[in-house]
Amino acid sequence: MPRGSEAIQHGLSIIDEGFVSVADLHSREFQIFLKYWHLIKGKRLAPPFVEFDFLKLPPELVPNILLSEVDADGDDFVIGFCGPDLAEHFGSVLEGRSTRGLNGNGQACSLHTAHSRTADEMVPIAACIPLTGISGRPQETANILLLPLSEDGIGADKIISYVECAGWSWRSIWWRFK
């Protein structure tokens, strides 16, 4: 997904650096993921994780899902589940890692920033997150849809995300995270 002026040329609504309108996510996978979240959410602010049933999603979505838990202080997010396609792409086990540690070289929109915004606003957030290659320069952009989950119906305790991997070359590109 393009960013900045390039995104505007492609008809995307830029909310601010790195974030786009959820309405601009036209891929079938993003739409299915968002529609399922709305279905189980009902009239609540966000559904609880216990109602999120991976078996009700098309199986091809699960390998690109990331589930993070909000830490006790509410200012960090620890990855609890990383789909196998994402783990293969990143070349490491992400479970147990903080989103702060995957901060794309301080880009305005990082995985951590997107998680924070989703938890704070308690609404679906779409982001284009630049990934940094071994050269230290941004190499690709991950398109991600982040959805809040809430046990108490007030604040987010988990964030579930779908990461679009189209165009990534899984075995030919090495990624570096700080």
Residue 90 structural domain: 18-51+64-164
Q: How many domains does the chain have?
A: 1
The answer to whether 104 and 141 are in contact (CB under 8 A) is: no
Sheet hosting strand 77-82, strand order edge to edge? 14-16, 19-20, 125-132, 138-149, 158-164, 65-70, 77-82
Q: What is the CATH number of the domain that holds 78?
A: 3.30.450.20
Q: What percentage of the chain exceeds 70 in pLDDT? A: 65
| pLDDT given at position 160 | 96
In the chain the first and final C-alpha atoms are separated, in Å, by 23
Instruction: Give the whole-angstrom CA distance, residue 52 versus residue 147.
Output: 11
Look at 113 and 55; give whichever has higher pLDDT.
55
Question: What pLDDT score was predicted for residue 142?
Answer: 77
Residue 4: inside a domain: no
Q: Is residue 80 part of a domain?
A: yes
pLDDT of residue 81: 92
Lowest mean pLDDT among 31-40, 77-86, 134-143: 134-143
Q: What is the pLDDT of residue 173?
A: 32
In-domain check, residue 58: no
Q: And the tokens for 158?
A: 């988990």
Q: What is the pTM of this model?
A: 0.78
pLDDT (tens digit per residue) in 80-109: 998 888 877 766 678 888 888 765 544 445
Q: Mean pLDDT, to the nearest integer, of 142-171?
A: 80
Residue 5 lies in a domain: no
Residue 174 resides in a domain: no
Residue 106 maps to a domain: yes
**Tally of CB atoms within 10 A around 12:** 21
- Residue 136 domain-assigned (yes or no): yes
pLDDT for residue 3 is more than 80: no
Averaged pLDDT, 14-34? 70
Please check whether residue 157 lies inside any domain of the structure. yes
